[in-house]
């Protein structure tokens, strides 16, 4: 496979060719960095022919905060709090990834209570993340009301998490060696009440959007990402599973207590926006199932296995592990030199790889299709740029 | 009352068919229009009275439009909020009733930006085209037997002619902004409005066939025995649905708000507009919504005509106790609410699906509906015929 | 269409692991008439959902913030502002060991220590810069003396970010434990050196012409009255 590298100016100013009188004029439009549908400061340069997209060129870096470089000057406990700011919708899973990497490197064992709470709280956040995605999908497709319904139900989880973790978005709850706090006494009853509350609401989501003929028409056979392309672009999470590949790190490389719970992996058949849509809806149901299985079986134990201020000395060597966030697999690479700060820290963020599939799937579609595709990829731009 | 006017010539369009129970209505409702009053005054050489009618009518129309704009902004925000489990504006005045005034003041005081590369003349003119189309349609709007500006013999044709006028404003606004997003929005609006005009007019034609007249007042009076939406065995209902869908598209409201397409085109044709000009676009959009609702009420729900059931005199007499203005306001409000309900429930269509919906679905349906309607009219096979 | 009976489940083996997959259903098209009817029904069902909320004002979730402050519930763990814990005598636990200073990822804490009368290290100033704090709670977690806590006073907005520099200790001097060994309250008070929040000259104090320096205190935003807003 040959690789062609072009700069943006080369693409936008192609060499002049003789125009036939019937040719239409192609033009470029900047979608973003300030555009309502790019979910942040993503810039997509679109080469357009009328309403049809001929080429999509993502331009990144508008919210680059050099988290990886900063991490080279911070020790494990401090890196964790930076990961809140990467994929802010699954902050807990990001915390867990770094904590697990540090724990694995240092050979720290955690007790079942810690692992159960981590699993439980990450699944809650997966539901929360998908709720927000569902609302924003409606917003992108023009149904503003679903946005408010999604946020209303998300608020329930946010309140539960706030009570336990002390923050609403950047939680910094899962620490190397354990958790920052123990579970709040209200946590278990409130989660049970939430599941009771949210199951009918999920059916309502289906009535409001999934069954809606306009939504189906907007999503079906739009942005088809074949299994080969999905693997080629390194897509993970619901985007990969929508293309028919049942890769779920919770099943393949179980961490936490995922090997002790029963759940199914929703998989798409075509790889279009509809499959990605339905998989996320189904993942919410599966996550609720996981929470239901775990909520009554939280074992006793300590919530922190290390001394809080203990030095986190990373042994010399390279460490890499992945966990499944709401958007795909987040990989953490740490290179230790025997000191507490890593020599190199790298995050393999799911959104970065998922984003590039847009360059393939959106070509030939309309602008509205691009909006639907970007929305069903569920991008969080701070995670792309880091 | 004998009226002579170039506009009041009996035209070939106002032929009378032998069907339809028009006599009931004719006896009961005397229609007086503003134009007729002015003409009567002029015939009596009473120029002062004519001037008062002219000036008063003009002032009342402008005042009503402005007031309606304010009320609708408030209503839209409140209705949207309650659909979305919110409260909506609550801060300015009791339950935020003064919020639209605050919004208006804000729009007035905002900096009026004209992009450097924009075509100044067209950019400035565009909002007024929208407003103009709106005022022209108000001309033939029958609000009650006493409140109507002019009752043209060819009212329906006039309406069909001017209802497409707003597209000039949208098109010019989007084009002159010299912005690619605005341009896309304008092109979408042009294609959409021109297409949906077809089925809109075909839906109106069904009612014209039933009532046998192009005159607004006669269309309303032909519904004295019952509204056309239910009298014609589903033909009226289908025509009503087609009209509603087409008029939502005409209005550029969700789910057909492609020319604004907030999440796609960042505002579409009015991306570059700010301040008062933006406010004018908004006003035109809201008033057009009321007009579409009012004409839907006129054609399918009997306009200001109370709800009657055939010759059931006892029932009809009770219904007649409610003044026609109230009936009109009620029906129009219902339709406006329906439009808002659509907007806050449905996702937006894609541009090619929009065209497919019109040309592949609505147009055949309305054509077939027209044929069925013709058969119904010829056979006289409808309720209270 | 989306009744869950029609959804296929099957067992597959991927990467050596047995797992159950659920295949996403595809919206099926049957006949033209059924499609149109189904489409209209789906739109009507969606409208019923929104109508249900419209017709029930009890489903409104809006909180009208400044009005509902009296019964606003903030979870006790909510991290709004850093502060030193004080007991009933107004004494704190901070020894000035600087662990929080070292562990803070953003250098938003600066602890300045001094030699006390006994020759031991004591705290002089505990400076916390709220403007660069990320509220990660690491300082509270690592404090070996349990001297810090996160308070719930979330209304911390000011018009100048320079006002977000706080000095957390009200006095400089020994800790609570050290005071416990001292019997006479006169001695206790003598050992305390007053450190009002913002007693130190803050940049804004100079800019606004407010007299600042020892003995003059500018009220910090955290003590704002409820009527101020």
B332-370 pLDDT per residue, tens: 999 999 999 988 888 888 888 888 888 888 899 899 988
Rounded to a whole number, what is the distance in Å from the CA of C132 to chain A's nearest CA? Answer: 13
Structural domains in chain A plus CATH codes: 67-385 (1.10.645.10)
Q: How many domains does chain B have?
A: 1
- Residue of A139, A144, A152 with shortest CB distance to B344: A144
Structural domain of C92: 81-215
Report if residue C75 sits inside a domain.
no
Q: In this complex, which chains have at least 3 CB pairs below 8 Å with chain A?
A: B, C
Q: Do C60 and B87 touch (CB under 8 A)?
A: yes
C59: nearest CB among B79, B85, B342: B85
- Are both C37 and C100 inside the same structural domain? no
Out of A35, A139, A144, the one facing B266 most closely (by C-beta) is A35
Residue A3 has pLDDT above 80, yes or no: no
> How many Å apart are CA A314 and CA C119, to the nearest integer?
37
Chains in contact with B, where contact requires at least 3 CB pairs less than 8 Å apart: A, C
**Within a domain: residue C203?**
yes
- Whole-model pTM: value is 0.84
Q: What is the pLDDT of residues A313-340, one digit of tens each?
A: 888 888 899 999 988 899 999 888 888 8
State how far residue A303 is from chain B, nearest Cα, in angstroms. 38
Q: The tokens of A282 are what?
A: 């189904």
**B257:A138 CB<8 A:** no
- The pLDDT score that the predictor gives to residue B165 is 79
Query: Does pLDDT of A223 surpass 60?
Result: yes
Residues B327, B330, B334: CA angle, nearest 5 degrees: 140
Nearest-neighbour CA in chain B from C220: distance (Å): 29
Mutate to test the interface with C, among B75, B76, B81, B82 (most CBs of C within 10 A): B82
The pLDDT of residue A194 is 92
Kindly state whether residues C93 and C144 are assigned to the same domain.
yes
Q: Please give the span between the terminal C-alpha atoms of chain A, in angstroms, as a whole number.
A: 29
With respect to residue B232, please indicate whether it lies within any of the assigned structural domains: yes
Domain that holds residue B277: 29-379
- Quick check: helix, strand or coil at residue C82? strand
Peptide bond into C16 cis (omega under 30): no
- Given this model, what pLDDT does residue C205 score? 44
Q: Which residues pair with A29 in a beta bridge?
A: A46
Tell how many helices (H) and how many strands (E) occur in chain C: 6, 9
Contact assessment for residue B152 and residue B184, using Cβ atoms and an 8 Å cutoff:
no
Residue of C nearest to B342 (CA): C47
For C30-66, how does the pLDDT look when each residue is reduced to its tens digit (9 = 90+)? 667 777 887 888 888 888 888 988 888 888 888 888 8
Q: Give the number of C-alpha atoms closer than 13 A to the C-alpha of residue A59, restricted to the C-beta side.
A: 18
C51 & C86 share domain = no
Tokens of A77: 């406990």
Q: Does C123 share its domain with C167? A: yes
Q: What is the 3-state secondary structure (H, E, C) of C149-216?
A: EEECCCCCCCCCHHHHEEECCCEEECCHHHHHCCCCHHHHHHHCEECCCCCCCCHHHHHCCCCCECCE
**C101/C207 same-domain check:** yes
Q: Quote the number of domains for chain C.
A: 2
Query: Both C20 and C121 in a single domain?
Result: no
- Confidence at A189, pLDDT banded by 50, 70, 90: very high
Residues C85 and C52 in one domain: no
pLDDT of residue A17: 57
Sign of CA dihedral B214, B220, B224, B228: positive
**Confidence check: pLDDT of C219 > 50:** no
**Higher per-residue confidence, A38 vs A280:** A280
Please state the rounded mean pLDDT for residues A143-170: 89
Region of poorest pLDDT, from A244-253, A280-289, C114-123: C114-123
In a domain, B24, yes or no: no
pLDDT, one tens digit per residue, over C83-96 is 888 888 778 888 88
Phi-psi region of A342 (alpha: psi -120 to 50; beta: other; left: phi over 0): beta
Residues C41 and C89 placed together within one structural domain of the fold:
no
Q: Is the pLDDT of residue A147 over 70?
A: yes
pLDDT score for C86: 84
Residues C91 and C143 in one domain: yes
Q: Does A104 touch chain C (CB under 8 A)?
A: no
**Which residues in chain B show pLDDT less than 50?**
1-27
Answer yes or no: are the C-beta atoms of A322 and A291 closer than 8 Å.
no
Residue B165 lies in a domain: yes
Identify the CA nearest to A156 among candidates A323, A279, A288. A288
Q: Is residue C101 part of a domain?
A: yes
CATH of the domain at C90: 3.30.70.3270
- pLDDT above 60 for A38: yes
Check whether residue C37 and residue C135 sit in a common domain: no
Q: Is B309 left (phi over 0), alpha (psi -120 to 50) or beta?
A: beta
Residue C64 within a domain? no
Mean pLDDT of all residues in A108-128: 90
C214 pLDDT higher than 80: no
- Could you tell me if C99 and C46 lie in one domain? no
Element (H, E) at C113: strand C109-115
Q: To 5 degrees, how large is the angle CA B171–CA B177–CA B183?
A: 50
According to the model, what pLDDT value does residue C146 have? 86
Inside any domain, residue C119: yes
Residue A67 has pLDDT above 50, yes or no: yes
Rounded CA-CA distance C35/C41 in Å is 10
Does the beta carbon of A248 lie under 8 angstroms from any beta carbon of chain C?
A: yes
Are both C112 and C202 inside the same structural domain? yes
Q: Does residue C11 sit at the A interface (CB-CB below 8 Å)?
A: no
Mean pLDDT over all residues of chain C?
A: 76
Residue B261 placed within a domain: yes
* C105: closest chain A residue by CA: A78
* Nearest to A287, CA basis, from A153, A98, A119: A119
How far C175 CA sits from the closest chain A CA (Å)? Answer: 20
Q: Is the pLDDT confidence value at C223 over 50?
A: no
Pick the range with the lowest mean pLDDT from A5-19, A108-122, A221-235, A328-342: A5-19
Q: B264–A371: do the CB atoms touch at under 8 Å?
A: yes
Q: Which of A107-121, A187-201, C160-174 has the lowest mean pLDDT?
A: C160-174
User: Do the domain assignments include residue B8?
Assistant: no
Q: How far is CA A323 from the centre of its chain?
A: 11
Name chain B contacts of A371, Cβ cutoff 8 Å: 263-264
Does C57 contact B at CB distance below 8 Å?
A: yes
The complex scores an ipTM of: 0.82
- Stretch C137-159: mean pLDDT, rounded? 85
What confidence score (pLDDT) does residue A13 get?
A: 67
State CA B74 to chain mean position distance. 19
**Is the pLDDT at A297 greater than 80, yes or no?**
yes
Of A90-94, B26-30, B364-368, C217-221, least confident by mean pLDDT is C217-221
Q: Which residues of chain B make contact with A218, given a CB cutoff of 8 A?
A: 347-350, 353
Indicate whether B1 belongs to any domain: no
Most A-contacting residue of C47, C48, C75, C80 (CB-CB within 10 A), to test interface: C75
User: Residue B18 domain-assigned?
Assistant: no
pLDDT at C194: 72
pLDDT at A232 over 50: yes
Token code pair at residue A208: 């409001």
Q: Residue C228 falls within a domain, yes or no? A: no
Whose structure tokens read 């991290």?
C79
Q: Which two tokens stand for residue B323?
A: 């003044």
Check CB contact of B84 with chain A, cutoff 8 Å.
yes
Q: How far apart are CA C105 and CA C134, in angstroms?
A: 9
What pLDDT is stored for residue B91 in this prediction? 86
- pLDDT at residue B190, as a whole number: 85
Query: Residue B203, CB half-sphere, CA atoms under 13 Å: how many?
Result: 28
Rounded distance, CA B168 to CA B122, Å? 10
| Residue B12, in any domain of the structure | no
């Amino acid at each position: 496979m040959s690789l062609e590298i072009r700069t943006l100016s080369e693409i936008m100013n192609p060499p002049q060719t003789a125009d036939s009188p019937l040719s239409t004029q192609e033009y470029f439009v900047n979608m973003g960095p300030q555009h309502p549908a790019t979910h942040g400061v993503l810039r997509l340069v679109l080469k357009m022919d009328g309403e049809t997209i001929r080429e999509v060129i993502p331009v990144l870096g508008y919210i680059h905060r050099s988290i990886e470089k900063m991490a080279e000057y911070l020790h494990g406990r401090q890196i964790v709090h930076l990961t809140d700011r990467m994929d802010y919708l699954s902050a807990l899973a990001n915390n867990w990834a770094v904590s697990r990497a540090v724990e694995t490197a240092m050979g720290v064992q955690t007790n079942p209570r810690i692992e159960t709470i981590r699993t439980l709280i990450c699944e809650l956040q997966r539901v929360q993340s998908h709720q927000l995605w569902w609302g924003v999908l409606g917003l992108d497709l023009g149904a503003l009301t679903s946005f408010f319904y999604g946020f209303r139900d998300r608020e329930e989880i946010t309140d539960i998490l706030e009570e336990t973790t002390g923050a609403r978005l950047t939680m910094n709850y899962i620490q190397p060696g354990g958790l920052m706090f123990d579970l709040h006494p209200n946590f278990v009853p409130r989660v049970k009440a939430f599941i009771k509350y949210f199951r009918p609401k999920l059916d309502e989501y289906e009535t409001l959007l999934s069954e809606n003929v306009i939504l189906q028409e907007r999503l079906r056979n739009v942005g088809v990402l074949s299994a080969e392309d999905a693997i080629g672009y390194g897509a993970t999470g619901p985007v990969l599973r929508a293309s028919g590949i049942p890769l779920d790190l919770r099943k393949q490389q179980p961490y936490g207590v995922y090997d002790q719970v029963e759940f199914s992996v929703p998989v798409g058949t075509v790889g279009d926006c509809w499959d990605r849509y339905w998989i996320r809806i189904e993942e919410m149901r599966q996550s609720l199932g996981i929470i239901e299985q775990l909520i009554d079986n939280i074992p006793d134990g300590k919530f922190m296995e290390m001394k809080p201020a203990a030095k986190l000395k990373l042994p010399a060597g390279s460490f890499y592990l992945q966990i499944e966030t709401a958007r795909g697999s987040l990989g953490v690479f740490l290179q230790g030199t025997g000191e507490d700060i890593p020599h190199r820290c790298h995050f393999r963020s799911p959104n970065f790889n998922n984003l590039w599939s847009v360059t393939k799937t959106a070509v030939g579609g309309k602008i509205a299709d691009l909006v639907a595709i970007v929305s069903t990829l569920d991008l969080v731009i701070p995670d792309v740029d880091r | 009352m004998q009226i002579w006017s170039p506009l009041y010539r009996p035209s070939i369009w106002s032929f009378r068919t032998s069907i339809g129970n028009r006599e009931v209505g004719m006896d009961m409702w005397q229609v007086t229009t503003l134009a007729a009053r002015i003409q009567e005054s002029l015939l009596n050489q009473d120029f002062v009275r004519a001037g008062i009618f002219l000036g008063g009518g003009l002032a009342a129309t402008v005042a009503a439009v402005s007031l309606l704009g304010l009320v609708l902004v408030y209503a839209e925000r409140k209705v949207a909020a309650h659909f979305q489990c919110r409260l909506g504006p609550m801060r300015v005045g009791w339950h935020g009733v003064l919020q639209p005034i605050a919004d208006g003041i804000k729009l007035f005081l905002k900096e009026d930006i004209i992009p450097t590369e924009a075509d100044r003349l067209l950019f400035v003119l565009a909002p007024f085209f929208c407003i103009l189309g709106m005022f022209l349609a108000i001309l033939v709007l029958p609000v009650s037997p006493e409140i109507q500006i002019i009752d043209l013999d060819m009212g329906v044709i006039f309406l069909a002619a001017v209802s497409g006028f707003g597209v000039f404003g949208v098109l010019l606004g989007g084009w002159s902004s010299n912005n690619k997003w605005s341009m896309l929005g304008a092109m979408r609006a042009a294609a959409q409005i021109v297409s949906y005009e077809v089925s809109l007019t075909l839906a109106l034609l069904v009612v014209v066939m039933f009532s046998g007249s192009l005159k607004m007042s006669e269309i309303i009076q032909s519904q004295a025995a019952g509204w056309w939406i239910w009298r014609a065995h589903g033909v009226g209902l289908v025509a009503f649905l087609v009209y509603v869908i087409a008029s939502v598209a005409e209005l550029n409201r969700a789910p057909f708000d492609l020319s604004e397409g907030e999440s796609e085109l960042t505002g579409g044709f009015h991306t570059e507009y700010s301040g008062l000009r933006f406010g004018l676009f908004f006003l035109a959009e809201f008033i057009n919504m009321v007009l579409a609702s009012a004409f839907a009420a006129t054609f399918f729900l009997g306009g200001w005509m109370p709800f009657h059931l055939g010759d059931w005199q006892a029932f009809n007499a009770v219904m007649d106790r409610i003044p026609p203005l109230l009936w009109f306001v009620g029906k129009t409000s219902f339709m406006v609410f329906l439009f808002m309900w659509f907007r806050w429930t449905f996702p937006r269509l894609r541009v090619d699906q929009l065209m497919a919906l019109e040309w592949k679905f609505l147009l055949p349906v309305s054509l077939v509906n027209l044929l069925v309607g013709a058969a119904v009219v010829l056979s006289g096979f409808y309720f209270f015929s | 269409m989306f009744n869950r009976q029609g959804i296929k489940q099957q067992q597959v083996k991927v990467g050596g692991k047995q797992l159950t997959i659920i295949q996403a259903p595809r919206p099926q098209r049957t006949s033209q008439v059924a499609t149109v009817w189904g489409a209209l029904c789906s739109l009507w069902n969606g409208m019923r959902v929104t109508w249900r909320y419209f017709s029930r004002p009890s489903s409104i979730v809006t909180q009208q913030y400044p009005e509902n402050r009296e019964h606003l519930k903030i979870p006790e763990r909510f991290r709004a502002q850093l502060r030193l814990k004080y007991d009933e005598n107004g004494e704190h636990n901070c020894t000035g060991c600087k662990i929080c200073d070292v562990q803070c990822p953003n250098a938003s804490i600066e602890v300045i220590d001094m030699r006390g009368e006994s020759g031991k290290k004591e705290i002089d100033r505990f400076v916390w810069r709220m403007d660069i704090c990320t509220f990660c709670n690491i300082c509270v977690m690592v404090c070996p003396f349990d001297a810090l806590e996160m308070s719930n006073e979330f209304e911390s907005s000011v018009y100048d970010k320079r006002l977000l520099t706080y000095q957390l200790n009200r006095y400089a001097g020994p800790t609570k434990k050290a005071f416990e060994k001292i019997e006479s309250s006169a001695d206790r008070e003598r050992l305390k050196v007053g450190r009002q929040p913002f007693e130190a000259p803050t940049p804004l104090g100079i800019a606004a012409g407010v007299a600042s320096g020892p003995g003059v205190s500018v009220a910090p935003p955290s003590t704002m009255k409820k009527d101020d807003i």
